[in-house]
Structure 1
Amino acid sequence: MSRLVATFFGAGFLRPASGTWASAVAVALAVAAYQAGWALAVPAGAVLAVVAGFLAVPPYLRATGGEDPSEVVIDEVAGQLLALSFTVIPLWRHGVADLALGAWPGWLAPFLLFRLFDIWKPWLVGRADRMGGTVGVMLDDLWAGLFAGLCAVGLAGLWHGLVQPWLG
């Protein structure tokens, strides 16, 4: 069971770039949940992925002897869903019904920003990554998700508050 959770039901074995594949799967699931009227399933899924990751990663790391094997992607799922929560919740509260087409920046920006922060590993993301063990595996992606979500909200504010009104 820890293998299934840690690899997010095998998504971690997709190549190349297993973390990007896992993030893309998380985005697709989040968009599907939103479209089905379950917007709050996105932040709930983030919490569930965090708890599941902290439970599944330790036995998986013990079994494989790895520090942070590339197939462990539950951390990417948790971080990606956290990043998406920053745009999904406001869109839902404003009654935006179509996340797939009508509000595509609401999922594309957090996806791209999360991948940027997860790969680049600036500041707290890199510090957490260097911690090693389960905490390092999980925490770097949660920091990346937090930063991606905040940046996505900032970009949305700039667009809707400054650029869009200026364009007329």
Structure 2
Amino acid sequence: MDMARLIATFGGCGLSPRAPGTVGSLAALVVGLPLLKRPRLLVAGIAAVTVVGWWATKRSGKGEDHSWIVIDEVAGMWIALLACLPKTEEQAREKWFWMYPLLSFAFFRLFDITKPGPVGVLDKRHDATGVMGDDVVAGAMAALCVKGVRTVMARASH
């Protein structure tokens, strides 16, 4: 396996015989959770995965969104996790905090699979920008939804 394919499959996660996108998203969640304690590293990781993922997709997948390409799910999932960053130590210890990464995963998968609005528009590009872009937008939409849930939960607890 060459470097581009290794990156595109996120170390082989995309080679799962069942639901490779979900497997890639779950792997991204597991790898991304410790990064919630290092926000700058999470942001740098998002930038790196997006740029390197675009290159790997263009090179190994010829720009097509093959099911084995899951590096786009990693970028989207990590963007969704941005909404989980605690602003204080107190927030990190709140009883509902564990729920937010799970919600990020659920919202991200929902938007990645159903492809509403701009996600679907980017998906129709059939090039590396579309492959990466639809998941970046799905991740941003998921982050907005999680942010909304966090706001409601914070208001309800006071």
Root-mean-square deviation (CA, aligned residues, Å) is 1.9
Structure 1's unaligned 5+ residue stretches are none
Map 1:11-90 → 2, pairs under 5 A: 11-34=13-36, 37-62=37-62, 67-88=64-85
Give, as a single letter, the amino acid of the residue that structure 1 aligns with 2:21: G
User: Following TM superposition, by how much is the alpha carbon of 1:68 offset from its aligned partner in structure 2, in angstroms?
Assistant: 1.2
Q: CA deviation at 1:26?
A: 0.9
Counterpart amino acid of residue 156 in structure 1: R
**Which residue identity is paired with 1:84?**
L
User: Unaligned stretches of 5+ in structure 2?
Assistant: none
3-state DSSP of counterpart to 1:24:
helix
* Number of the residue aligned with 2:107: 113
Following superposition, the deviation at residue 94 of structure 1 comes to: 1.1
Aligned residues of 2:14 and 2:20 also touching (Cα < 8 A): yes
CA contact (8 A) 2:25 2:74 kept: yes
- 2:57, 2:64 within 8 Å by CA — same for their partners in 1? no
Instruction: Judge conservation of contact 2:9–2:71 (CA < 8 Å) in 1.
Output: yes
Q: Does 1:164 align with 2:141?
A: no
3-state SS of paired residue (2:141)? helix
State the identity as a percent. 37
Give the TM-score taking structure 1 as reference length: 0.85
4+ aligned runs moved over 6 Å, structure 1: none
